[in-house]
Amino acid sequence: MAIELNEPALRNARALVRGGDVVRDERDDWSEAAPTPDEENAFIEREGWTEYSHWHLGVDKSEDRETKGAYSFPFGDFRRVHRGGVIAGESRAGQYDHTEIRDALKALLELIDADSD
């Protein structure tokens, strides 16, 4: 399992933040805000795998790109970036030594927080 930073997802997240599509919640809020498996399936059915991938900062290129197992570190609800999801992902990425993803999430959090000033 070689999880890498998903650059298109990072570009998507930055664009959403710059466009104001952000929920400024806390880490503990993410467990309630994160999409359910049924919501994920509906999104994939409607928008496809490429769009689904744009909501996850981690990608395992050894996995089939048309499976949920290929994607990790979600940061939003398919409409907006959630600050709580970014914080949770940053912590988890650090815990599992995914430093590039951790650093990208940290920078994204800084962008969110700077935008709220």
pTM score = 0.93
Looking at residue 117, what is its pLDDT?
Answer: 55
Looking at residue 27, what is its pLDDT?
Answer: 82
The Cα–Cα gap between 112 and 51 comes to 22
For the chain, residues with pLDDT lower than 70 are 1, 115-117
Angle subtended at Cα 17 by Cα 105 and Cα 114, rounded to the nearest 5 degrees: 75
Phi and psi dihedrals of 70, rounded to 5?
Answer: -80, -15
> What would the two tokens of residue 79 be?
């409409």
Domain range for 86 is 3-115
81-82 and 71-74 strand pairing: unpaired
Q: Look at the chain and report how many structural domains it folds into.
A: 1
The Cα–Cα gap between 107 and 32 comes to 24
Looking at residue 1, what is its pLDDT?
Answer: 59
Looking at residue 37, what is its pLDDT?
Answer: 96
